Amino acid sequence: MELTTELQKISYGLGVLMASSVRSQGADTLDIDAVAAAFRDVFENNDLKISLQDANNTVQAYMQAVADKKHAGAKEEGEKFLADNKLKQGVTTTASGLQYRALKLGNGKTPKATSSVTVHYTGKLINGKVFDSSVQRGQPTSFGVSQVIPGWTEALQLMREGDKWILYIPYNLAYGAGGAGGDIPPFATLIFEVELIHVK
């Protein structure tokens, strides 16, 4: 169709934006005729073929399946990385699946779940991409042991002041199926180099 009026341009533009947004989330197998029919029924106040609640449930289930398929590779890649890594010399694997390797051993206090700690750390994905680093900022960070991801909470209670460890954290002890922002994708296995500076 030719866009000969301002209203047609606006309407088409809205369609472009909505379609681009949906497609960018991986939903590229939709029936376009059914989408158009739904728009027409809503705007013309026709009887809907499914209720709004059913529409919401159906779309949520579809988008979850799309997301699971999109990120299945990351989950499998992380599992393979951890399976290989646990065989390396010096790597310890806990019952939860957390892995760690000591780079330097201290002789200070061991934190409890209720402790606060000061640490230096660098976090990266298994492809080596750094997503956060107090070292790069030049400023250590402090927080409660129980206020961070489960992998950190567990690891910190195994460390002593002065320890420097590498943590290998499976997705279920990190940010899970949701990821975190744009830097940590869903199902991401994370690697942290952590130096425990102070326990309070």
- Catalytic amino acids? 121, 131-132, 149, 175, 192
* Parallel, antiparallel or unpaired: strands 164-169 and 99-104: antiparallel
CA-to-CA dists, residue 59 to 36, 44, 64, 65, angstroms: 16, 22, 8, 10
Q: Can you name the residues that pair with 165 across neighbouring β-strands?
A: 102, 194
Dihedral sign (CA 172, 80, 96, 194): negative
Dihedral sign (CA 39, 40, 46, 48): negative
> What contacts 200, CB < 8 A, 6 or more positions away?
115, 116, 117, 118
C-alpha 137: how far from its chain's center? 22
Q: Give the position of tokens 């960018």.
A: 24
C-alpha torsion 86→181→149→197, nearest 10: 90
